[in-house]
Structure 1
Amino acid sequence: MTLPLTATDPRELLANQRAAYLLEGPPSAAVRRERIDRLTAMVLDNADAYVEALVADYGTRSPTGIRFAEIVGMLSVLEHTRSHVRSWMRSRNPSPAARLMGIRAEVQPTPLGVVGIVGPWNFPLNLVILPAAAAFAAGNRVMIKMSEVTAHTAELTARLAAEYFDPAELAVVTGGPDVAAAFTALPFDHLFFTGSPRVGQLVARAAAENLVPVTLELGGKNPVVVGRAADIGRAARRIARARMVNGGQVCVCPDYVFVPEEHFAEFTGALRTELRALYPAIQDDADYTASVDRANYDRVLGLIEDARTRGAEVESLAPPHEPEADPVTRKIAPTLITGVTDDMRVAQEEVFGPVLALRPYRALAEVTDYVAAGHSPLVAYWFGPDDADFRTFVRKTRSGGVARNDFAVHMFPSDAPFGGVGHSGMGAYHGKAGFDTFSHHRTVVGSALPFAVTALAAPPFTPFLRNGVGLALRAAAFRARRRLGR
């Protein structure tokens, strides 16, 4: 993919940023913190403009929800990152005792250079600002490709970035799929992507052409397990709200729920009651988030219809006298699906909408076997006490994180890594994990030994060295046999 070279061409921006990095070298802690401060100010100074842009992009999205999820929710991570920059930058001495023998070793966290960030449309501000802050903390320059789906937010960010930053520090690129393809094919020093597993594969493939390391923050079908000792009513209330965050368009939203067979009717009834109480009206509710565009709206309806056609029981919780879905507002009422089978698309694809599949279970082994057999989700949820069943679930399944008794609480600690595993991604950020992701930990070793190590490694080999090597191997073999009880 090639694009005509212009003043805002991503290739030219990358060349300028790399030249600036090579000229100035790794920045000081003060410079790194000041860049994070400007990034934070860019968002906070223009919070109202971002709310307006996101409402325009979605058609209907709660202004309060935007302020909380897009802005307030990332401030603690930004502050934690800023306050720890200097300590994270310090070199460490991996083998202090080696100094006594004349070997001095240190490991230096060094910037990678220029980091490319590709943002999603569901949280188009939060999910580019946080990785950008981590990249700044590590001493890098940053280029961001905003999602074209949320075009108002993209254009606003591009304009503001030019006001708060020199383009050699931070540059924001806008445009459609062709621009995104060209962007991901650039020889960055690291590429960070948030989005779907399908697009993540394309990004990783493009980056591989230049041997660019990637961090992929993807989605997946996040399971919820209601334990036998759970408070059924409380679990239903919290799961109902968790499914409806941003209209279900969140990579950490619950996707399907396992409920003990004996509590299934009670749970379903409580879930139904809660959703009806939360949304007595939908189409005129300014806080009820719409599908971001017609394509996503049609896709979610397709999942529902496929399940219905294949024999599932589909229950729309649309208020009386309102449609189950409206193509004009792009709002879909909360929908519960039971009788789900594995051949249904809703069992295979990430829903990313206000739809929840419910499955009864008899034994916990059914749940762990099912979750472990599928792609690893970004997060696994458990409702109930921290008991033996919960620990069995954690031990026998794999996921990016585990959250118990509430939505996305595994993301709350500012210094805890956030990321997926397997199909839900690779790599992590938030806190020091983000700093480490965008750093190269370079080992620097000096020798003051009275002899040259190369004299031991290169021929000719003396009889003394041959005997010494043989003795070392025999001693190592003896230790290994003893540890194995042989």
Structure 2
Amino acid sequence: MNRSTTEPSGAGTEPHTRVIAVPADDDPDTLADILARQRAAFLRQGPPSARVRRDRIDRLISMVLDNREAFTDALSRDFGTRSRTGILFAEIMGMLSSLEHTRANLDRWMRPHNPSRAARLIGVRAEVQPSPLGVVGIIGPWNFPLGLVVWPAVSAFAAGNRVMIKMSEVTSHTARLTKALADDYFDRDVLAVVTGGPDVAAAFANLRLDHIFFTGSTRVGRLVMQAAAANLVPVTLELGGKNPVVVAPDADIARAARRIARSRMVNGGQVCVCPDYVLVPEHLIEEFTAAVRAALAETFPDIIANDDYTSSVDDANYDRVLALVDDARARGARVESVEPAGEVLPDRRTRKIAPTVVRDVTDDMAITREEIFGPVLVIRPYLGLGAAIDHVNERPAPLVAYWFGPDGPDFRTFVRHTRSGGVSRNDFGMNMFPVDAPFGGVGHSGMGAYHGKAGFDTFSHRRTVVGSDLPWPITSVAAPPFSGALRALVDFTLRTAHRRSRSRIAKSTY
């Protein structure tokens, strides 16, 4: 089967069309062969130079930019409705500054660190070399199936690794296009993209890779970690969670409601950093809820024919979100659907669900435990900052905690006494904005981090190399027989250290 894609035919010219053969999905049995090929090439050629690493990054960025219209088409087909501008902004443009930052800083990050400069005076040289791990496996999600494999792949290339990518089978058009294009831009011993269903994903997670990077749900993250543990493969998990929003009593309620409502609707709510539920001071909850409804109605005067309104990615996710809402309603929650006049939603044909506000929830409702990942916002009242902090801390640590209000003592108390992957104040996903800030979760929302230098470090091993030019061995004193002088030195050193520690404790006012 063939399909058309476009790529620039030269500077200042219009794109021309070429034909790309869409490959079949991979057989699980072939994955070990791909890994063996990549590892053999890595061992044969050794760590690549900065020039080679930059070339690999450039090729990956060019693969995306040359074929951006083809990717837009594939993603639109996968979702049913997903706007061109939203795709280009969220999948491609949003990561470019970070990727360019990584490329620009490669030489500096690759330099060895000298941990003991003074030791050179006596003939001992020590350095810590950032060395590549080998072959990195990336398991991508379906909500941003292009950007969230390219971003970690650039970090892995920057660190000098080879890369295997398992694309999500949910977004199959994007997966097969990425696989076909990767074979045009790279040798498979540098970058190999594989596609297929759960059997391929399971085989991929069981490979003896040198690192696995997974983006997806907490449930699947556990399975990936279990599989990796059998081979002692280190993992980085970028998971989701129920991201809380706390609206401060002195917040601008209308502005906060408008920003939170629109943040919930990014990619149809199918974003791991979307606000999931909002804690609002009890005396302000009616005002806040009314402002949310007004903002949603103004933003989406029509939905079914609106190309900017993203569909649920498939029937399974569409049904799952509706089931969460139905369960809440059946258990006594107040459910308010913000439907445009004349439209009947939800609409199964387009898989579109109207923006929905859910109130009066109780902890026996599934919607209070499961990540919603759809256009539904839960609003809950709170009495006092301590109650809001307790509510957040009684639940698994989220990927992002949001605060809407001034940067004052209350905000700093909230940051200090809660646990989350990151914190954003007064705007959506601001913890991802600085190009060199690490991004990652904690606890149930993930482990490890990437973006910028953190990504380079994640996919590097800091290897200590120490050499001595002294005419005698320093560490030979550790081998028997032990002299009386050594015994006396050990006893004296430990008695001195003990007196020092006891003195510090005695003087402490803690």
The TM-score with structure 2 as length reference comes to 0.93
Aligned to 1:434: 455
Residue of structure 2 in register with 1:392 after alignment: 413
Decide which of 136, 144, 154 is 2:157's aligned counterpart. Answer: 136
Written as runs of structure 1 = structure 2, the 5 A alignment for 1:361-400 is 361-400=382-421
State whether structure 2 residue 218 is matched by structure 1 residue 179: no
Cα deviation code 1:96-146 (max 9, x no counterpart): 112223321100000000000000000000000000000000000000000
Q: Give the partner amino acid of 1:24.
A: Q
> Which stretch shows the higher mean deviation, 152-161 or 101-110?
101-110
Q: Measure how far apart 1:370 and its partner are.
A: 1.1
Residue 97 of structure 1 aligns to a residue in which SS?
helix
Return the alpha-carbon distance in structure 1 between the equivalents of residues 431 and 219 of structure 2.
Answer: 25
Given the alignment, which residue of 46, 63, 68 partners 1:42?
63
Please tell me whether the aligned partners of residues 51 and 63 of structure 1 are also in contact (alpha carbons under 8 angstroms): yes
Identity %: 67
| Partner residue, 2:376 | 355
Offset, 1:324 = 2.6
Q: Tell me how far apart the structure 2 counterparts of residues 23 and 157 of structure 1 sit (CA, whole Å).
A: 27
Pick one of 469, 472, 494 that aligns with 1:451.
472
1:179-204 deviation per Cα after TM superposition (whole angstroms, max 9, x unaligned):
00001100000000000000000000
Shift of 1:280: 1.0
Counterpart check, 1:259 vs 2:295:
no
Q: 2:425 & 2:94 partners in 1: Cα distance?
A: 19
C-alpha distance in structure 2 between counterparts of 1:455 and 1:112, whole Å: 32
Shift of 1:6: 6.6
Q: Is residue 406 from structure 1 mapped to residue 427 from structure 2 by the alignment?
A: yes
Q: Which runs of 5+ in 1 are unaligned?
A: none
Written as runs of structure 1 = structure 2, the 5 A alignment for 1:216-365 is 216-365=237-386
Q: What's the offset of the Cα at 1:321? A: 2.1
Rounded to whole Å, the distance in 2 between the matches of 1:287 and 1:300 is 20
Taking the aligned partners of 1:6 and 1:66, their CA distance within structure 2 comes to: 30
Alignment-mate amino acid for residue 87 of structure 1: R
In 1, Cα distance between equivalents of 2:395 and 2:93: 34
Q: Is 261-270 or 142-151 further displaced after alignment?
A: 261-270
- Could you report, residue by residue, the CA deviation over 1:387-432 in whole angstroms, capped at 9, with x for unpaired residues? 0000010011000000000000110111000000000000000000
* 1:146 has 2:205 as partner: no
Letter in 1 for 2:374: G
Post-superposition shift, 1:285? 0.6
Q: 1:135 corresponds to which letter in structure 2?
A: A
After TM superposition, the runs of 4+ consecutive aligned structure 1 residues lying more than 6 A away are: 4-8
Letter in structure 2 aligned against 1:139: G
> 1:449, CA displacement in angstroms?
3.5
Q: Deviations over 1:326-367 (max 9, x none)?
A: 111100000000001111111000000000000111111111
**2:306, 2:159 → 1: CA distance?**
43
Residues 1:62 and 2:83 are matched in the alignment: yes
Once the 2 structures are TM-superposed, how far is the Cα of residue 16 of structure 1 from its aligned partner?
Answer: 0.3
SS in 1 for 2:444: helix
> Residues 415-434 of structure 1: matches in 2 within 5 Å?
415-434=436-455
Match of 2:178 in 1: 157
Q: Distance in 2 between matches of 1:134 and 1:454?
A: 38
Q: How far apart are the structure 1 equivalents of 2:225 and 2:59?
A: 30
Q: Which residue of 1 aligns with 2:6?
A: none
SS at match of 1:484: helix
Between the aligned partners of 2:86 and 2:258, the Cα distance in structure 1 is 19
Measure how far apart 1:438 and its partner are: 0.2
Distance 2:497 2:475 in 1: 23
Question: TM-score normalized by structure 1?
Answer: 0.98
Question: How far is 1:450 from its partner?
Answer: 4.1
Match of 2:12 in 1: none
Residue 22 of structure 2 corresponds to none
Q: Quick one: distance in 1 between partners of 2:389 and 2:406?
A: 17
CA distance in 2, matches of 1:339, 1:263: 15
Partner of 1:287, secondary structure, is: coil
User: Does structure 2 retain, via aligned residues, the 8 Å contact 1:317–1:324?
Assistant: no
Cα contact 2:99–2:151 (8 A) shared by 1: yes
1:189–1:213 Cα contact (<8 Å) kept: yes
Contact 2:141 2:215 in 1 (8 A): yes
Indicate if the aligned counterparts of 1:5 and 1:12 stay in contact, CA closer than 8 A.
no
**Offset of 1:263 from its aligned partner?**
1.1
Matches within 5 A, 1:470-481: 470-481=491-502
One-letter amino acid matched to 2:431: H
1: distance between equivalents of 2:28 and 2:192? 12
- What is the CA–CA distance in structure 2 between the aligned matches of 1:295 and 1:7, rounded to whole Å? 25
Residue number in structure 1 paired with 2:4: none
Corresponding residue SS for 2:182: helix
Contact 2:28 2:203 in 1 (8 A): no
Measured in 2, the distance between the counterparts of 1:238 and 1:51 equals 26
Count residues with an aligned counterpart. 483
Aligned letter for 2:131?
T
For structure 2, which runs of at least 5 residues remain unmatched after alignment?
Answer: 1-24
Cα distance in 2, alignment partners of residues 6 and 280 from structure 1: 46
> Per the alignment, in what secondary structure is the counterpart of residue 105 of structure 2?
helix
Please tell me the residue identity of whatever aligns with 1:230.
Answer: A
Q: RMSD between aligned alpha carbons?
A: 1.3
2:330 partner amino acid: T
1:468 aligns with 2:489: yes
